[in-house]
Amino acid sequence: MSEETGEPGARPIPIRLVAADALEGLVAELPGAQAAWVRANGFRARLGTALALPGAGGSVERVLVGWGTGAQRRRERLHLGSFARTAPAGSYRLEGDLSPGEAEQAALGWMLGRYRFDRYKSDSAPKEGDMEADLETPEGVDGTRLGLIAEGVFITRDLINTPANEMGPEALERAARRIAERHGARVEVTTGEALLEANLPLIHAVGRAGPQAPRLIDLSWGNADDPAVTLVGKGVCFDTGGLNLKPGGSMALMKKDMGGGATVLGLAHMIMGLGLGLRLRVLIPAVENSVSSDAMRPGDVLTSRKGLSVEINNTDAEGRLVLADALALASEEDPALIIDMATLTGAARVALGPDLPPFFTDDEALAAELTAASEQAADPIWRLPLWPAYEGDIEPGIADLDNAPKGGFAGSITAALFLKRFVDRAPWVHFDVYGWTPKARPGRPKGGECQAARAVLALLEARYGGPE
């Protein structure tokens, strides 16, 4: 998306969003040939559908994009992403009476819909003379802000989509360093046996069997006097399940098990690029959960940074272990807010599906703010309870905590309750994200996805704004 697009002097092609109940009125106003064209093509203004109207000499005079019904628009506000993905090369602009929020969401849908991940395709290189489809920044929309948001989403998508043979802990560290260098942030990394010296034993235990050394990536940015916000992201770059080996079908998408780490890096890019008035810290425990002679075993009891002992009843419940040490470390600084993001449980997908990440917090005001921010950003999330009656499920017989309660019920809730034991004082929210779009949707191509980050950004913008 740009302020000026296309060939010098070229006229941007107008895009008209057409609500289903306004279609007949619009067709009645069109020249006869165009009205006949609309009817002949069976255009019904269904949400995201598109039809080009012919002009003189075979040119395109205008594109009609279906805006559907009000209920459909509330469900799918990035609808322009459908047309953006298939739009012929050229320059476009939105026309019509759109509110600032509608124009912004349409423009963001366009930008997110243009994403491609084709680095492994042999014919992916642009050819001479190729021209992208581009959308002029709508009036009243901050194109720079939207560009930073889209870029952050793309960072996350690229990291998740990259296969594990090229996105291990070392590569995730390099990605964090690139983002830090761009924004003048600082990065410290604790690697391998140094994790034990730094009292990060659970991160070490999960990752010690991997081909690359486990590590904690610690990025910091901002002014010392600003409120501190810490983001924690699960960075399990591949999850075999450990000795509790996953079946092949369950292992197929495990390159995305670092989706929480990828998401907080994309969000950090947005925060730093927008210059929000906060002091940011990003903690990513980056490991591979592998099988080798020194892999942790079912039945082992491990002691965490916080001093709580954990009985390992399933080595495939490793994400909460690495997060536990990182959350304990985050709490020691007593920040104004701690947010963790993790591809943590299949139970969350069973409960809410792939598109709706649950979040957990016992801070009622924070929950209300997040819900409002989610609606504003068109980035869906849903609150689930930290149900205290299930606390006993995470308490085994011989240790303080059980990493994999038996019974199969409320798995996302018991995982959140486990994490809560490692957070002291600071307001905290946990997101159990999927990090993946299994079926292409408007603005969301199939593949890695940046979930909940835009909702969190809207919350942080409301709280901390930008620089003076």
Q: Would residue 234 show up in a list of annotated catalytic residues for this protein?
A: no
Cβ partners under 8 Å of residue 61, min gap 6: 13, 34, 53, 54, 55
Check residue 57 and give its pLDDT.
79
pLDDT at 337 (0 to 100): 98
For residue 1, the model assigns a pLDDT of: 64
Per-residue model confidence (pLDDT) at position 2: 58
451-462 as b/e: b if 16+ CB within 10 A: bbbbbbbbbbbe
Element (H, E) at 70: helix 70-75
pLDDT-based confidence at 466, cuts 50/70/90? low
CB 431 within 8 A of CB 341: yes
Domain formed by 145-464, architecture: 3-Layer(aba) Sandwich (3.40)
Q: Write down the pLDDT at residue 6.
A: 41
Give dist(CA 79, CA 84) in Å, integer. 9
Q: What is the mean pLDDT of the chain?
A: 94
The answer to whether the CB of 335 falls within 8 A of the CB of 288 is: no
d(CA 274, CA 55): 41
Instruction: List, for residues 27-82, the tens digit of each pLDDT value.
Output: 999 999 999 999 999 999 999 899 999 988 778 999 999 999 999 988 899 999 99
- HSE at residue 231, side-chain half, CA atoms within 13 A, is 30
Exposed/middle/buried for residue 113 (C-beta within 10 Å: 0-12, 13-18, 19+): buried
The Cα 82–Cα 442 span in angstroms is 5
By percentage, how much of the chain surpasses pLDDT 70? Answer: 96
Tokens of 222: 């901002």
In which element (H, E) is residue 13 found?
strand 13-19
- Burial class from Cβ neighbours inside 10 Å (0-12, 13-18, 19+) for residue 314 reads middle
- The residue from 77, 157, 215, 320 that is catalytic is 320
Active site residue 119: no
Nearest CA among 284, 326, 333 for reference residue 305: 326
Q: Which of 246, 383, 420, 463 is catalytic?
A: 246
- Domain spans in the chain, listed from the N-terminal domain onward: 13-114, 145-464
In this prediction, residues 337-354 reach a mean pLDDT of 98
Q: Which stretches does DSSP call E strand in 165-308?
A: 186-191, 215-221, 228-233, 235-239, 279-289, 301-303
Chain-centroid distance of CA 151 in Å reads: 12
Give the integer Cα–Cα distance in Å for 389 and 385.
11
pLDDT in tens, 426-452: 899 999 999 999 999 999 999 999 999
pLDDT band at 8 (very low <50, low <70, confident <90, very high): very low
pTM for this entry? 0.95
| pLDDT average, residue stretch 150-163 | 98
Domain 13-114 is found in CATH 3.40.220.10: yes
